[in-house]
Chain A
Amino acid sequence: MGHESTQLVPVVVTHATWLWLIPLFPLVGATINALLGWKLQAMFGEPGKMKGGRGKQLVHSIAVAAMMASFAVAAYSFVQLKGLPAEERFLQQTLWNMFTAGRLSVDLAFSLDQLSMLMVLVITGIGTLIHVFSIGYMAEEPAYWRFFSYLNLFVFAMLLLVMGDNFAVMFFGWEGVGLASYLLIAFWYTDPEKAAAGMKAFVVNRFGDFGFIIGLMLLFWGLGGAWQARPGLVRNLDYVASVEMNSNAGASTAAESEALAPRVHGVKVGPTMNFRELRDQVVIEATGVKEHLAGTTVWGVSLLTLIGMLLFVGAMGKSAQIPLFVWLPDAMAGPTPVSALIHAATMVTAGVYMVARLNFLFVMSPSAMGWVALIGALTAIFAATIGFFQYDIKKVLAYSTVSQLGFMFIGVGTGAYWAGVYHLLTHAFFKATLFLGSGSVILGCHHEQDMRKMGGLKKHMPITRWTYLIATVAIAGFPVANGFYSKDEILWKAFTSHHLALFGVPTPWLGPLIYVVGLIAATGTSFYMYRSYYMTFTGEYRGGGDHHAAPAGIAHTDHHAAPAATADHGAHAAPADDHGGGHHGGTPRESPWQITLVLAILAAGSVLTLFLGIPVLWQHTFAHASTAPLLEHWLEPVLSAKVEFGHGTPAMEWLFQGLGVLAATVGFVAARAVYKDNKNEAALKAMIERWKGVWTVVYNKYYVDELYEVIVLRPAARVASAFSWFDGRILDGLVHAVAAVTKAFANLDGAIDKYVVDGAVNGLASVIGWAGGALRHLQTGRIQTYLYGALGGALVVVLVNFLIS
C-alpha cells in the first residue's frame, strides 16, 4: 500500500444555491400525495373505471413531475459541476445549522462532488423511469396514492443519503431509506407474509445500523483524540490554535465554533462530521491526524481497522452482504418497481457508496479493506449458487443482486474504488431492466412468479424479451454490454492487488483468491441469468393449464378493457380466487407502453454506459491513446486514495479478459443446454435426483434462514421470554411491593388526617355551632327581654359595688 506522493490540498468549495431543490421536489411530491392523494383519487376517480381515471392520473402526475423536476435540477448541477476545473468540482450548500456543541458544528448541508453527482443522476434518472413504469404496473392498485407517496419519500431519503455534506445528514437519509424500504416491502400489509418481510428487512437493517453507529462513534472519538494529542505531535509546524488547547470554552453558534476550531495549515482539525473536513484532515499529512489514527489501538486492534470493519457492518445491512443479506430476497414481497428501484438500483448500493465516499479512511487500513473484499467475494459466490435453483423469477434476481453487490464490494474493498462505483452504475441499469422486465413478465402472466409456469413468452412479449435478453447479456459479462467492463475491471484489480490484509496479517494471496472466487461467481451469474431467460422466454407457455375451465367470453372482454391486469394484492394467492377467474387465464400479453418504453430506455442505457469504462488496454491497442476510462477520470479527484496494484503485462490483461468472457460463455452454454426450450427436462430431473442432497441444500438457500432461526431468533426469543419473566415476576413484584407499602402508608396517613386533624377541626366547629345554637335563643327580638338583661346587669353592678365598698 502506498500513497500518491503529490501534495494533496484542501477541497475547494463552490457554493451553490439550488442544491436543496433536488431533494425538495420528491419531498413535496410525497407530502402532497400523502396528505391529499386519497382525496384526489376519491374526487376525480371515475368509479366505473377500474383504473381510477383522472384521480390516479393526478396522483402519478404529481409524483412523476416531482421526479422530473428533481432530475432537471440534477442535470443542471451536472452541467455546472462539469464547468468547473476537475480538481475543484465540489458544489456545496448550507441551509442551516442543526446543532453546535463546542468545536463540533453540524449543518443541514448538501454537497455534490463527482461521486454524489453520479449517484444523484442514477437516483433521479432511473427513479423517474421507474415512476413511469409504476404507472402501468400499479394501475389497478386502490392505494395508488400511498404507493407514489412512499416512492417519492424513498427518493427524498436516498438523495439526502448521497447529497449529505456530513454524517448526520447522510445518516438521516440512511435511516430514511430504511423506513421507505420497510413501508414499500410491506406495502400490501394485509398479507401477513409481506408484512413480516417488511419487518425482517427493517430489523436486519437495524443490526447493520448499530455497527455503523459504533463505527461513527469510534471515528469521532479517534478524531477527538487526534486533536487532544496535538501538542505532543507538534514538531516544527506552524500550529496556531485560536484558543488554548485545553480550554473548555463552549460555542453556541456555528461562527463561534468555527472560531474555536484549531487549524493546521488552514485545515480544521478535530472532531467533525463533515466529509470534506474529515477528508482534508486525514489526507493532509501535516495535520498529524493520520499519524494519530494509525497509531491508536483499541484493545490491541488498530482503531482504523475497527472503524472500517464496523462501518462496513452498516454497509452489510444496507447492501445485503453475508451474513445480513437474508432480508433482501424476502424484500421481493414488495411491488416489483420497488424491487427495481430500492432493492436493485439505489438503496442497496448505499453501502458501496459509503465505502467509496470514505475511501480515504479505508485505504489506511489494509485489514479493513481485506475484510470488505473477502466478505464481498464470499457473498458473490454464495448468493450466485443460491440463484441456480430458485424458481421464483424475482428471487433469482434478488440473489443475483446480492451477488452483484458482492462484486461491488470486491471492487471497493481491493481499492479499485472507481470500478466498484462503475459496477454500481452498470448494475443499476441492467438490474433495473431485469427487475422491470420480470415485472412485465409477472404482469403478462397474470401475477405468476414461478418460472416453471412461464415459458415461451418471446412470442407474446417481444419487447420485454429483447430488453431482458440485453440485460442478461450485460450481467453475464459479454463485451457488447456494460456488465463486462465493470466486472472485468473489478476482477482484474482483485487479481493484481497484493496489499490486502486480514486482522493485521498481510495476505498477498487474498487478491488472487478473490479473483478465482469472483470468476466462479461470474460463471454462475451467467448460468442462472440465462437459466431464468430460457425458462421464461423459450419453449412452450406452461402457465395456461388451469384457465380452460374459466368462462372464456367474459375473460376476453376483461382483458381488452384492462390490459394491465390487476395489481393483485396476493401475487402468491392461489390462481383460483373467484373474481380473478378471467384474469388468470388466457395467453400472456405484452405490457402497456409505460412499461415497454421504460424497459427500452433502460436496456439502451445498459449498452451505452459501456462507453464510460473502456479499459486503458483497449484504448492503447486500438486508438493508441492511454487515457483512463471516462468514469475513472471523472471520479479521480474524489477517490483520491491511491492503492498500488501489481502491473500485469498487456498479454496477461488480454488473457484475463478472455477468461472473463469464457466464464460468461461457459455459464451461457450450460444454461442453454439444460434449459433452452425446456427440452431436457428429463435429463435435468435425473441430474437433480443424482445430486439430491446438494440440490436440496442449495434449493433451500443453504438453510440460512433456518440457521438464523436457530442461532439468532430462538435464543433471542428465549432471552426475551426470560426478560419477560424477570419483568413480570421480579420487576413487577418489586413495583407492586413498593406500591403496596406506599398504599398502606397512605391509608395510615389518610386515617390520621381523617380522624385526628379533621376531627379536631370538625370538633371545634361543632362546639362553636352548638354554642351558637344555644346562645341564639337569647336574642328574642323583644325589647323587654333585653331590658331584663340591662336591669339585671345594673343590679349586679350595684350589688358588687356595695360588696366591695
Chain B
Amino acid sequence: MQISLSHFLIVGALLFCFGLVTVTTRRNAVGVLMGVELILNGANVNFAAFNHYVVGGVSGQIFALFVIVLAAAEAAVGLAIVLAVFQTFKTIDVRYADLMRE
C-alpha cells in the first residue's frame, strides 16, 4: 500500500483531535499541557507531510523544529503557571481555578 499525503494528514488530524479532546476534558492542568503538546505535534506532522509531498526542500522540517522549540518554551511557561495555580488553589484541578467567572 502506497503511503500518501492523506495518510499523514489523517494521522495529523487524529493527533490534533486527541490533543483537543485532552485539553477540553482533562482536569489535571499538567494533562491539559500534554494535550497542547499533542495539538502542536499534529501540526508538526502536517508541516513535514506537506513539505515532503507538495513543497520540497526542508522548510517544513525547519518549521516543525521551531514548533518543538516553541512547545518547550510553552511547556516551561505552562508549568510555571501550573505551579502558581497550585500555590493559589492548593490543587492543580482546573475546575477550581475559576476566579475569572462572571
Give residues in A with beta carbon < 8 Å to B: 776, 779-784, 787-788, 791
How near does chain A come to B25, taking the closest CB pair, in angstroms? 8
A791 and B95 in contact, given A776-B102, A782-B101 (Cβ under 8 angstroms): no
- 24 A–B contacts from the bound complex (CB under 8 Å): A776-B102, A779-B100, A780-B98, A780-B101, A781-B97, A781-B99, A781-B100, A781-B101, A781-B102, A782-B94, A782-B95, A782-B98, A782-B101, A783-B94, A784-B23, A784-B24, A784-B25, A784-B32, A784-B94, A787-B23, A787-B24, A788-B24, A791-B20, A791-B24
The closest CB in chain B to the CB of A777 belongs to B102
**Other contacts beyond A776-B102, A780-B101, A784-B32: 16, CB < 8 A:** A779-B102, A780-B98, A781-B97, A781-B98, A781-B100, A782-B94, A782-B95, A782-B98, A782-B101, A784-B23, A784-B24, A784-B25, A784-B94, A787-B24, A791-B20, A791-B24
How near does chain A come to B42, taking the closest CB pair, in angstroms? 15
Q: Hey, which chain A residues are within 8 Å of B24, CB to CB?
A: 784, 787-788, 791
- Complex-state Cα separation, A780 to B32, whole angstroms: 18
How near does chain A come to B100, taking the closest CB pair, in angstroms? 4
9 nearest interchain CB pairs?
A781-B101, A781-B98, A781-B100, A780-B101, A782-B98, A787-B24, A779-B102, A776-B102, A784-B24
Give the contacts of B19-44 with A (CB-CB under 8 A).
Answer: 20, 23-25, 32
Q: Hey, which chain B residues are within 8 Å of A783, CB to CB?
A: 94
The closest CB in chain A to the CB of B96 belongs to A782
The closest CB in chain A to the CB of B25 belongs to A784
How near does chain B come to A797, taking the closest CB pair, in angstroms? 16
**A-side interface mostly:** helix
Q: Hey, which chain A residues are within 8 Å of B20, CB to CB?
A: 791
- Complex-state Cα separation, A782 to B100, whole angstroms: 8
- Counting chain B residues whose Cβ lies within 8 A of the other chain, the interface size class is 10 to 19
How near does chain B come to A451, taking the closest CB pair, in angstroms? 106
**B-side interface mostly:** loop
Q: Hey, which chain A residues are within 8 Å of B100, CB to CB?
A: 779, 781
Give residues in B with beta carbon < 8 Å to A: 20, 23-25, 32, 94-95, 97-102
How near does chain B come to A383, taking the closest CB pair, in angstroms? 102
- Complex-state Cα separation, A783 to B97, whole angstroms: 9
- Complex-state Cα separation, A776 to B98, whole angstroms: 14
The closest CB in chain B to the CB of A788 belongs to B24
Q: Hey, which chain A residues are within 8 Å of B25, CB to CB?
A: 784
- Complex-state Cα separation, A779 to B99, whole angstroms: 11
Q: Hey, which chain A residues are within 8 Å of B23, CB to CB?
A: 784, 787
Q: Hey, which chain A residues are within 8 Å of B99, CB to CB?
A: 781
Asked if B94 and A779 make an inter-chain contact with CB atoms under 8 angstroms apart, the answer reads no
- Complex-state Cα separation, A781 to B85, whole angstroms: 14
Q: Hey, which chain A residues are within 8 Å of B94, CB to CB?
A: 782-784
- Complex-state Cα separation, A788 to B24, whole angstroms: 7
Q: Hey, which chain A residues are within 8 Å of B32, CB to CB?
A: 784
- Complex-state Cα separation, A793 to B23, whole angstroms: 17
Instruction: Pick the most buried of B32, B99, B100: most chain A CB atoms within 10 A of its CB.
Output: B100
Q: Hey, which chain B residues are within 8 Å of A782, CB to CB?
A: 94-95, 97-98, 101
Q: Hey, which chain B residues are within 8 Å of A784, CB to CB?
A: 23-25, 32, 94
Q: Hey, which chain B residues are within 8 Å of A776, CB to CB?
A: 102
- Complex-state Cα separation, A780 to B97, whole angstroms: 10
How near does chain B come to A550, taking the closest CB pair, in angstroms? 100
- Complex-state Cα separation, A787 to B97, whole angstroms: 15
The closest CB in chain A to the CB of B26 belongs to A784
Cβ-neighbour of B101 out of A779, A787, A791 (below 8 A): A779
- Complex-state Cα separation, A783 to B96, whole angstroms: 11
- Complex-state Cα separation, A656 to B99, whole angstroms: 127
- Complex-state Cα separation, A792 to B60, whole angstroms: 30
- Complex-state Cα separation, A123 to B94, whole angstroms: 109
- Complex-state Cα separation, A784 to B25, whole angstroms: 8
How near does chain A come to B43, taking the closest CB pair, in angstroms? 16
The closest CB in chain A to the CB of B95 belongs to A782
Q: Hey, which chain B residues are within 8 Å of A788, CB to CB?
A: 24
The closest CB in chain B to the CB of A776 belongs to B102
- Complex-state Cα separation, A791 to B19, whole angstroms: 13
